[in-house]
Chains A and B, each alone.
Chain A
């Protein structure tokens, strides 16, 4: 309990609370704007946090992440355009309810469910963290290597169009991470005589380019898209009648969202869709779904925000990002000189609790913001794109330059943006590339250290039961698409009477 209190104590500082509040405000704004996303906002925020201490810097980003997920529901409800992908399912019932003239009720339900889901997942983590810490004590380079390989194999499972493309994308991320001087031999790799590449490729310009510049090019194709906006009215907390109806849905979705979030490489979007499906499956009013039922809003909103807390668990405790945004938070941790994963749990548990404390604060803050300011935040959609995106580009340029003070990094950002635009067009995920970029160094370092430990005998790695278990999990995760049909053949589902008929 001591690290929990110590961690909470670390963020109870006026400066930290102001930064968390700023993160929440930016998150809600970014979440509310279709096109702007939490990963992009975290990437753009990164250069601003370089001068901060690690705890306030990461707290701000974590707060942005929570609030960004919630912010997406505002535009999902009011303009039927989810500001963020996790709010896709919220629009199914939120928009019809708003069209019925009950926008305030829909926003209130979304706010309450989001906050409940978020707080629920954080409480679960605070109690589960000591267990992770106990496992983390057994980690040495071979276990780190196996864990990182497992994390890379989970790229196949990341939400996206194709497992194959995600893996290729992740592979290129790993490849980019090898640019620069090889740590154990001092040999330059893939620098092609460019001295700026000797130290390797800087994370920040790549991240900004992929998420901000790539989206800018994408948006330049959709200049004629217009949204019909519904007036928000006064946002109301759910009534006792509504609460009675949605309470089981909120609880179920919170548990489901937390679990899905904890699974490495799954994210809030999957959680929200599953939360919506489960809400429908267990509802007594299935026919009302899609027409503006409160359960259809509470289900996905509780699940997607619970998943944000859940996704931070593998990110901080294992060093495996749970989503695109957490991949960026992981990059931020590394940039701030921290080593996410078991090492962090073992050496500085209070840091992890501080971040979770920050997320708890963020949830409570956007309860207030959601209830008081949702109407105002919805006005952000009135900003013309032709002004908004040049502003994003200015931040991208300055953000890419800020880290090293070199124009070279602006070029890296620009090229990454074009690459990101092409990748998205052909279904290659950006989050896997970022995860590969982050995990690549860890895999190589841990592998080299393990081989030195075991005198270049690869099979000696399997002496550790944790390594063996992680390699088995890696195999299952990679070959699941092949194993699935085999399992279905071996254990066929009994046909129902209806199907027989």
Chain B
């Protein structure tokens, strides 16, 4: 509160927004919390590592290295909310990639792909990849069926042939055993 009041007295804001002065960058503060939460979780996980047997106890313990890495990440993350000062001085826009909200399409795309990967153990990889090639173009607004249907049928078959017959990678056949 005191910092906020002092920043206001100096004519600035406590929260920095795009193109304005401010002490703390609001979005980066959230990013910092996320990074700290992840690192704290992993740090906690290091406390659960198994005990090392006496024979190997003279070596560096397994938690030593990850803990140092986590501490370094935590320290670095504390600088994130204030980094915008440096960028502003250099005339750079730290928010250029995230100035707009994420549109609906990445969520829908990720959702669709999630469904097909989820379905892979049941319907097999060949059918799943065909499904992706059929539905993703439609989701992205493609309506030229003469292009989509041959693409959805031929392209996954070609890739399957390449991997299955030439590179000898066996496709997941799924519950129904559908493969080349």
Residues of A whose CB lies within 8 Å of any CB of B are 47-48, 50-51, 161-162, 164-165, 167-168, 171-172, 174-175, 178, 182, 184-190, 192, 213, 216-218, 220-221, 223, 384-387, 389-391, 393-395, 397-398, 401-402, 405, 407, 410-411, 414, 418, 421, 424-427, 440, 443-444, 447-448, 451-452, 456, 481
Residues of B whose CB lies within 8 Å of any CB of A are 27-28, 31, 35, 42, 45-46, 49-50, 52-53, 56, 58-63, 65-66, 69-70, 72-73, 76-77, 79-80, 83, 86-87, 92, 94, 97-98, 102-103, 105-106, 108-110, 113-114, 117, 120-121, 125, 128-129, 132-133, 136-137, 140-142, 147-148, 151, 155-156, 159-160, 163, 167-172
Contact present for A414 and B114 (CB under 8 Å): yes
Contact present for B105 and A175 (CB under 8 Å): no
Contact present for B147 and A387 (CB under 8 Å): yes
A165 contact set on B, CB distance < 8 A: 80, 83
Contact present for B140 and A385 (CB under 8 Å): yes
B128 contact set on A, CB distance < 8 A: 397
Q: Which residue of chain A lies nearest to B120 when distances are taken between CB atoms in the complex?
A: A407
A426→B95 CA distance, assembly (Å): 8
A447→B53 CA distance, assembly (Å): 20
The DSSP consensus for interface residues of chain A is helix
A189→B65 CA distance, assembly (Å): 11
CB distance from A193 to the nearest CB of B (A): 11
Contact present for A407 and B172 (CB under 8 Å): yes
| Known pairs A397-B132, A424-B97 / 9 extra A-B pairs, C-beta < 8 Å | A161-B97, A175-B42, A175-B70, A185-B52, A186-B56, A390-B132, A394-B129, A394-B155, A448-B60
Using known A-B contacts A51-B168, A175-B42, A185-B56, determine if residue A386 contacts B142 with beta carbons closer than 8 Å: yes
Using known A-B contacts A162-B83, A223-B140, A393-B136, determine if residue A451 contacts B120 with beta carbons closer than 8 Å: no
Contact present for B45 and A190 (CB under 8 Å): yes
Contact of B103 among A50, A221, A387, A444 (CB under 8 A): A221
A186→B62 CA distance, assembly (Å): 9
Using known A-B contacts A162-B87, A186-B56, A427-B94, determine if residue A171 contacts B49 with beta carbons closer than 8 Å: no
A448→B36 CA distance, assembly (Å): 27
CB distance from A411 to the nearest CB of B (A): 7
CB distance from A135 to the nearest CB of B (A): 27
CB distance from A30 to the nearest CB of B (A): 17
Using known A-B contacts A51-B167, A178-B65, A410-B117, determine if residue A220 contacts B140 with beta carbons closer than 8 Å: yes
Contact present for B98 and A48 (CB under 8 Å): no
A447 contact set on B, CB distance < 8 A: 60, 65
CB distance from A172 to the nearest CB of B (A): 7
Contact present for B102 and A188 (CB under 8 Å): no
Contact of B142 among A182, A217, A384, A405 (CB under 8 A): A384
A501→B65 CA distance, assembly (Å): 57
Contact present for A161 and B151 (CB under 8 Å): no
Q: Which residue of chain B lies nearest to A181 when distances are taken between CB atoms in the complex?
A: B62
B110 contact set on A, CB distance < 8 A: 217, 418
Contact of B42 among A164, A190, A213, A411 (CB under 8 A): A190
A386 contact set on B, CB distance < 8 A: 136-137, 140-142
Contact present for B169 and A405 (CB under 8 Å): yes
Using known A-B contacts A175-B42, A220-B109, determine if residue A188 contacts B169 with beta carbons closer than 8 Å: no
CB distance from B97 to the nearest CB of A (A): 5
Contact present for B163 and A402 (CB under 8 Å): yes
A389→B155 CA distance, assembly (Å): 12
A410→B42 CA distance, assembly (Å): 23
A221 contact set on B, CB distance < 8 A: 102-103, 105-106
B72 contact set on A, CB distance < 8 A: 171
| Most-contacted residue by chain B among A213, A410, A481 (CB, 10 A) | A410
CB distance from B163 to the nearest CB of A (A): 5
A448→B110 CA distance, assembly (Å): 41
Contact present for B98 and A426 (CB under 8 Å): yes
Using known A-B contacts A405-B169, A425-B97, A448-B60, determine if residue A171 contacts B73 with beta carbons closer than 8 Å: yes
Using known A-B contacts A161-B92, A223-B140, A414-B117, determine if residue A188 contacts B132 with beta carbons closer than 8 Å: no
CB distance from B123 to the nearest CB of A (A): 12
Q: Which residue of chain A lies nearest to B156 when distances are taken between CB atoms in the complex?
A: A394
A213→B117 CA distance, assembly (Å): 13
A257→B128 CA distance, assembly (Å): 45
A397→B70 CA distance, assembly (Å): 31
CB<8 Å pairs between A and B, sample of 23: A48-B167, A161-B92, A161-B97, A164-B76, A168-B35, A168-B80, A171-B76, A178-B65, A184-B60, A185-B52, A185-B61, A185-B62, A188-B50, A190-B66, A192-B45, A220-B109, A384-B142, A385-B140, A387-B148, A407-B172, A426-B27, A426-B98, A481-B86
A391→B18 CA distance, assembly (Å): 37
A131→B56 CA distance, assembly (Å): 40
A51 contact set on B, CB distance < 8 A: 167-168
A167→B108 CA distance, assembly (Å): 32
Contact present for A401 and B66 (CB under 8 Å): no
A213 contact set on B, CB distance < 8 A: 113
CB distance from A217 to the nearest CB of B (A): 5
A256→B160 CA distance, assembly (Å): 45
A444→B31 CA distance, assembly (Å): 28
A171→B68 CA distance, assembly (Å): 10
B168 contact set on A, CB distance < 8 A: 51
Contact present for B59 and A452 (CB under 8 Å): yes
A175→B65 CA distance, assembly (Å): 9
Contact present for B56 and A184 (CB under 8 Å): yes
CB distance from A407 to the nearest CB of B (A): 6
CB distance from A448 to the nearest CB of B (A): 5
CB distance from B86 to the nearest CB of A (A): 8
